[in-house]
Amino acid sequence: MQPTTTREREQLAQASDTLAQLERQFNGEPRRAERDESRAVVTARGLSRTYGKGGAKVHALRDVDIDITQGRLTAIMGPSGSGKSTLMHILAGLDQPTGGRVGIDGVEITRLKEKKLTQLRRDKIGFIFQSFNLLATLTADENIVLPLSLARRRADEAWRRTVIEAVGLTDRLTHRPAELSGGQQQRVAVARALITRPAVLFADEPTGNLDSRTGGEVLDLLRRSVDEFGQTVIMVTHDAGAASIADRVVFLKDGRIVLDQDRMSRDEIYDTIKNLETAPAADERSAR
């Protein structure tokens, strides 16, 4: 047998990779998504949000800058009233900032008209809520493909099967929400959020209405969506255990980002929150 040249070895390797890709497609197995962790999918600059007037004015956010990079799970935490939910709602285009700007996948959303904003949310954003928000009259399958139905788009059947298998709902597709457990309903919500392959998925206290075991299963799904599908996830949570699965944890207090750190353990997160809750407010410190 003649020895192969370097070029022939490269060609053989390339052919082998191509064959492997075709086999995965033929077998219906999802390819690990390519991701660029240097690319910011969500950007915010100078975000502020105030409610009320005069002496009743509340500063929910104060000059917040943040970038959310592709293919990572970011947890947003903070004491009650820190501004974490307000930040998520503004980043997702569900609320307007008093000042500053937000961009999603290269589009500045703070100046969009309502019709264009609705279209962008439908095409580029997935949502998972604490209360599931499923339509009671629809089956699990119909709830999953609802965003596509509203956009008058057909589901990619291979992707639909991949998502349904990933969330473990193959034998529950004809059931309506009332016939599903809380964990199964949240699995439907996760599948619904993934079905459009959004640029970013927002999860608002996704385990808040679930027991610890079921909540852990939902967190595993979110982690898998990042690791296997390259999904970008922003999760607001008060649970240190939930935040410990994140690649990055952002802490807010008094409407400001006070700590932004890569992966942290449950105990580290718990201690940080405890310290933030007992630390004096910014207004109190400035008054001293």
SS3 for 160?
Answer: helix
Rounded Cα distance, 177 and 134, in Å: 7
Ranges under pLDDT 50 in the chain: 1-4, 15-16, 18-33, 284-288
- Give the list of residues 6+ apart from residue 182 with CB closer than 8 angstroms, or none: 132, 209, 210, 211, 214
Choosing among 3.40.50.720, 3.40.1390.40, 3.30.70.1140, 3.40.50.300, the CATH entry for 40-287 is: 3.40.50.300
* H/E segment holding residue 104: strand 99-104
Within 10 angstroms of residue 138's Cβ, the number of other Cβ atoms is 16
Q: What integer pLDDT is reported at residue 248 of this predicted model? A: 98
Nearest to 231 by CA among 186, 187, 194, 192: 194
The packing angle between helices 182-194 and 212-229, to 10°, is 20
Within 10 angstroms of residue 26's Cβ, the number of other Cβ atoms is 8
SS3 for 186?
Answer: helix
**Alpha helices (H) along 153-281:** 157-166, 182-194, 212-229, 240-243, 266-278
Rounded Cα distance, 147 and 133, in Å: 13
- Give the list of residues 6+ apart from residue 24 with CB closer than 8 angstroms, or none: 30, 31
pTM for the structure as a whole = 0.82
User: What digits encode the pLDDT tens for the residues 211-251?
Assistant: 999 999 999 999 999 999 999 999 999 999 999 999 999 99
User: What digits encode the pLDDT tens for the residues 113-134?
Assistant: 999 999 999 899 999 998 899 9
